Structures are given as C-alpha cells and as structure tokens.
Amino acid sequence: MTDDEKGVVDTVDEVAGWFTGGDIISLYRLVRQLAPGAKILELGSYRGRSTNAIGHGIKGSDAVVYCIDRWQSFDFDDVLPKIDPSVTALRPCDAAILEDFINNTTWLGPQLRMMRGSVSQYSDLLPEAFFDLIFIDADHSREGVTGDIGASLGWLKPGGILCGHDYWSGTPSVMKAVNEALFSRQDVQELGVVGGNGCMWFARVDS
C-alpha cells in the first residue's frame, strides 16, 4: 500500500459503515484504472463509506458516480444498531441516514448524482451500456443480488467492470448469486476475489 492509499483509507475510515481497509483499497484501485470521463454506478450506499472510496478514486477527474439507495428510516430497536452502534448518534428520524450520507459526500460536489429508491424503480430509467463500472452492495438476499446483477448487465458497457461486496462465507446468498448469475457466464472474465479481511468480488463483462 502506498502512502497515498494509506491516506485514502485513513480518510474513508472517518465514515461509518462496514467496508474494511482492504475493501476500500480494492475499490479505489479499480476506479483509478478507469478512463477519463468514466461513469460509475453504486447500488447501495448507506452512509457513504464505499462512496468515499470511489470518490477518492475519481478525485480531480471528470468522472461521475451515480448512487442508488433507499436511505430509508430505521428503528433503533431493530437490527441496525446492533451491527452499526454509531447509528444511534444520528437523529432518530426518517431522514437520518440520508442526512448523514449527504454530509459525508458533500465534498464530491457535481461528481455525485443521488437517486433515492430501490434498484427496481430505476430498471427502465437508466440507459443501456452506459456505465464503465458498477458496484453492487444493496439487497443481500440471493434474489436481490441476482436481480441487481441482471439489471447491471444491461447498464454496463461492453468490457466494463462489475464488482460488489460481501462475497464470503458469512453471506452465502451473495456467493451463490454471484457464482450462478455472473461467474458462470461465457462472456465474463473473473478478475478476482479478495480474501482475508476483504470480501470484494470483481468481473469484467466482455459483451
């Protein structure tokens, strides 16, 4: 890891979420290799931790990241505070997660485009073969990941990169969906899976 990359990890670590240092660098490096003017789509942004990793990758360029998320209300008695205790410091209102995301990503300015809602709500609104890289970290059910991959394949440019989070034994639904819906395709070249503390998967779609 270079000094610049360590600086990116330290900065992104200030944003709450579940993205590890290895995940941050993996996504950052993928984004850094994109051509000028790249269009990036993030499915599932939460409080903006992975969005910040993407943001640092496109900093100083003319690339743009589009984010789709519900940014919906949460219940302090639900499971969310158990997996992200810091969420209890936010205002207990419908807009708390949305407000936090905006605060964490304001520095991106016009390079960030927010689209609030579910992935399925945008299925007929986004252009085909438009994005150079799509990062999937939304609905973690087998059906949800399969649906997100299917939609993404239509939105991705030929030769574009499809990647995502939580490919590990703790989320077998994600592993099964990625293996069945993506890695088994003839037009897909698997780029890799980061093990250890990371759980990122990558694939380049040739057609």
- According to the model, what pLDDT value does residue 190 have? 77
Distance in angstroms (rounded) separating the CA atoms of residues 14 and 171: 25
Q: How many domains does the chain have?
A: 1
Distance CA 178, CA 58 (A): 26
Closest listed residue to residue 24, CA positions, set 4, 45, 14, 9: 9
pLDDT tens by residue, 124-136: 999 999 999 999 9
Q: Share the mean pLDDT of the chain.
A: 91
Tens-digit pLDDT profile for residues 28-44: 999 999 999 999 999 99
**Which CATH number is 158's domain given?**
3.40.50.150
Which pLDDT belongs to residue 95? 87
Range of the domain at 79: 3-205
10: its two tokens: 């330290």
The helix (H) or strand (E) run that includes residue 25 is helix 21-32
Per-residue pLDDT tens for 91-120?
A: 877 788 999 999 999 999 999 999 999 999
Mean pLDDT of 63-73: 92
Residue 93 has phi, psi (to 5 degrees) of: -140, 170
How far is Cα 136 from Cα 151, in angstroms, rounded to an integer? 11
**For residue range 145-175, what is the model confidence (pLDDT) as tens digits?**
999 999 999 999 999 999 999 998 889 999 9
Q: What is the pLDDT of residue 151?
A: 96
Q: When comparing pLDDT for 76 and 182, which is higher?
A: 182
Residue 73: per-residue pLDDT: 66
Q: In angstroms, rounded to a whole number, what is the distance separating the alpha carbons of residues 65 and 132?
A: 10
